[in-house]
Structure 1
């Protein structure tokens, strides 16, 4: 048994077709067939069974695939680490997803800083909302994502990396504009708008406001751009996050939101680096996650309130 046979077996198990597997492995179909037959003879079990022109794994093949996949992942990582020590690594590519509010400032700075420390790593960056990002993370389309905390899931790990402050935004004619800060008591007579409560941020905002008895809220909006637009041009006040969107809306007044006038505890929503604990990660992805873990984990402020 040799390493090539194990790679051949894994590829054939993925494609379940000799011709397709041989093409991707850059070998002939007879060479692949001979390698698999030799492996089966050495193991003493049949790994594949023919079904017409296709094949599928036997129960022995399915079990063997688990061990082979795990073993080859460790071999690949070991090779990558040794090449990195030797300065011959090609770096690799990381598919990264992020919410829009971190893609203009935080992500470019983070990646530029990381690239100065780690040569050769390329990033493929795509923006989406938190829920789709987490779905594509689990399916393997992303290696890591920067997003709001989703529902608890044993297959996803979250590392807090930055905060965005909760504020109240309004037009200049709103009665709240005369205040230096806003508390839940100030909102009792005010018509409020906030995020859709079907997205992670909206659910977190609704929980926080419900705890403080703030009930007159319309949870219908997707992001800060539309919330800020309605707040600046209407009678509504928007309870939302302080992001770059707010600074591009003319006539908008923004005030910090505190839980009480006495304590004046600011509220923050956290953004997380999320990654799958189940999916395979090449060495470059593990190294990036470790870099975040070692250097950029957010320290919790005991005086603040986190709504996520």
Structure 2
């Protein structure tokens, strides 16, 4: 068994087609066929079963594929580390991110990262909502994402890096707008129309649990802070239950009142990455740095990024 056979196997297992795999590997189909036949003979088990013009992995092939992918990823990583050992970390990282961390957290993180590792790394940001971001991360559109925690996403690692508070958003003419704090129980007793996030979103699910516990029901829903703020601004008697983020900044007629019975770290934002995906040295270093980074929320400076909306 040699490395070429393992790389050939990995490609054929992914494409499940000899002609396509041989073309991608820039070898003759006969070379690929002979390599796989020798590998199966050496292992003593069939790895592929023919299915018309294509092939599919056998039970033994699927088990072998998992070991091969893990081994080759580790090897590729070691080769890259050896090449980069005496160099600045360079390259490009594509990161999907919810927009609410781009005002101060990400600029502060990038300044600190560049202070430690230099300016060789290019970071491209792609903005979106949590669920689409995670779907694109799973499809390998990004190496990393900053998004809310979502349950039942096998293969993804979520590392909390900051949290956002939930507040009551009211028009300044609302009778409760002058309060220093409010509770959900008080909102229930005032019978105010509640506007909050759609329950099918991660943040909406979190809020819905608290509404149920307080005996409250939402009268209207929105996807984000800007849309939610606009609804509250147009309905002076309503109360928005919303994250206190930069999305509220445009609404000069609205006030955000803290909620006394909701934890301040209500909504964690996580650094998310695929557990088994190959990671360049730059990506691994970025993960390690971000995990240990301590953010000072009082920093308000901005940073320029190459950004693309998703």
- TM-score, normalisation: structure 2: 0.81
Equivalent residue for 1:103? 102
Name which structure has the greater RCO, CA cutoff 8 Å, separation 6+.
2
| Contact 2:211-2:217 within 8 A present in 1 as well | no
Equivalent residue for 1:291? 289
Q: CA deviation at 1:270?
A: 1.9
Equivalent residue for 2:131? 131
Task: Give the direction of change, closer, same or farther, for the CA distance of 1:117–1:66 in structure 2 (3 Å limit).
Answer: same
CA distance in 2, matches of 1:164, 1:63: 42
Q: CA deviation at 1:72?
A: 0.6
CA distance in 2, matches of 1:185, 1:55: 62
CA distance in 2, matches of 1:179, 1:25: 68
1:135-284 aligned within 5 A:
135-153=135-153, 155-187=155-187, 188-189=189-190, 190-211=192-213, 213-234=214-235, 235-259=237-261, 266=264, 268-284=266-282
CA distance in 1, matches of 2:52, 2:151: 43
Equivalent residue for 2:16? 16
CA distance in 2, matches of 1:154, 1:28: 37
Number of corresponding residues: 292
Q: CA deviation at 1:45?
A: 4.2
Task: Give the direction of change, closer, same or farther, for the CA distance of 1:49–1:209 in structure 2 (3 Å limit).
Answer: closer
Q: CA deviation at 1:92?
A: 4.7
Q: CA deviation at 1:201?
A: 0.7
Task: Give the direction of change, closer, same or farther, for the CA distance of 1:48–1:126 in structure 2 (3 Å limit).
Answer: same
CA distance in 2, matches of 1:294, 1:98: 19
Q: CA deviation at 1:124?
A: 3.8
Show structure 2 runs of 5+ residues with no match.
297-310
Q: CA deviation at 1:74?
A: 1.1
1:44-63 aligned within 5 A:
44-63=44-63
Task: Give the direction of change, closer, same or farther, for the CA distance of 1:135–1:44 in structure 2 (3 Å limit).
Answer: same
Task: Give the direction of change, closer, same or farther, for the CA distance of 1:44–1:179 in structure 2 (3 Å limit).
Answer: closer
CA distance in 2, matches of 1:294, 1:88: 20
Q: CA deviation at 1:223?
A: 0.9
CA distance in 1, matches of 2:256, 2:66: 55
Deviation string, structure 1 residues 49-87 (Cα, Å, up to 9, x no partner): 433333333443333222211211111111122122132
CA distance in 1, matches of 2:146, 2:264: 23
| Contact 2:228-2:240 within 8 A present in 1 as well | yes
Root-mean-square deviation (CA), in Å?
2.9
Equivalent residue for 1:5? 5
Task: Give the direction of change, closer, same or farther, for the CA distance of 1:166–1:66 in structure 2 (3 Å limit).
Answer: closer
CA distance in 1, matches of 2:282, 2:233: 45
Deviation string, structure 1 residues 241-261 (Cα, Å, up to 9, x no partner): 11112111232222222229x
- TM-score, normalisation: structure 1: 0.81
